[in-house]
Amino acid sequence: MVMDSMDKYENVILYLCSELGGRICGKKKLFKLLYYVDFDMFEYKESMSTITGTNYYAWKMGPVPEKDEFNEVIEKLVRDGKIKVDKENINSYDIPTTMQIFCANSEPNKDLFSEDEIFILERVVSHYGKLKGGELESLTHREAPWICTEQSGPIPFELAFYRGTDFNES
C-alpha cells in the first residue's frame, strides 16, 4: 500500500471514530462504513477514485476491505497509540461472541482530505453512522456491488454506479 493511501486510510478510520462518539462498535460496522466511504467517493461526481485506496470483497456478511491492508492499518494505528481496540463479550443470536470496539485516541488529520472527500465522510457518518453492523450488512446485500459479485470475489468499483445513490438528499 502506498504511504499516502495508508495515511488517508488511517485518518478515515480516525475520522469515523471521532464523529461517532470516539468509537465504532464492531468490525462489521467499520467494514461497511469503509465500503460506503470508498464506493460513495468513487460514484460521487464520477470521480472514479477512492479515499482509502483499498479493494473490497463480497463475503457472506457483505463487502469487506482487503484483509491484510486493513490489519496493517489497524496495527499501525495501535502501535502509534492513535487507536485502541477493545473486546467486548456479547450474545449474538444467543451465541456468545466477542465484538471488537475501535476507540480513537487522537483526532484525524482532516487536512489530508479534499473538500469532496470531507463531503463524503460527513455523508457516510450522517446516513450510516447510527446503524448497527447487521443493519449495514442488510443494506449492502440489497446493492449491486454485493449482489453482482461472486462470493469472496473482488467487487468492481464500477458497480457503484448501479446503486442509485442520491447525493442531493440531506
CA torsion 109-115-119-120 (nearest 10°) is -70
Instruction: Work out the pLDDT band at 96, boundaries 50, 70, 90.
Output: confident
- State the pLDDT confidence band at 98, using cuts at 50, 70 and 90: confident
Residue 57 sits at φ, ψ, to 5 deg, of: -130, 150
Confidence bin at 95 (pLDDT 50/70/90): confident
Confidence of residue 152 (pLDDT cuts 50, 70, 90): very high
Q: In the chain, what is the straight-line distance between the N-terminal and C-terminal CA atoms, in Å?
A: 34
Q: pLDDT (tens digit, 9 = 90+) per residue, 6-36?
A: 899 999 999 999 999 999 999 999 999 999 9
* Joined grid coordinates for residue 100: 471488537
Q: How far is CA 41 from CA 20, 80, 87, 92, 134, in A?
A: 20, 27, 31, 32, 23
Position 67 pLDDT exceeds 90: yes
pTM here is 0.94
Give the residue among 92, 86, 30 at the shortest CA–CA distance from 63.
30
